[in-house]
Amino acid sequence: MAMSEPITIHAAKTRFSELVRRVEAGEEIVIARGDKPVAKLVPIPPAVAPKRQFGSLKGLVELDEAFWDPLTDEELEQWGLK
């Protein structure tokens, strides 16, 4: 990621939309109060969904034999299947 020269708070307020576009493009923007850097605008990494792992609920969920019984007409209606 490229880091820019520090930009003053006043300039950052004036050019905020432009700075956000630059950050979206991968640039890091340093914000300074006078000559002292005080903050940094950085891109947020894309959210990554956790990988599903087969068997991760083993021991946490139990099904009794009735689970495999066919649904009744009433249950089928409740699910909108009849």
Structure tokens given for 45: 């990494």
Which pLDDT does position 18 carry in this prediction? 97
Q: Count Cα neighbours of 4 within 13 Å in the Cβ-side half-sphere.
A: 20
Which pLDDT does position 3 carry in this prediction? 67
Which pLDDT does position 79 carry in this prediction? 93
Question: Whole-model pTM?
Answer: 0.54
> What are the CA-CA distances from residue 13 to residues 33, 43, 71 (Å)?
12, 18, 62
Domain layout of the chain by residue ranges: 7-41
pLDDT, tens digit, for every residue of 53-74?
898 888 998 889 999 999 999 9
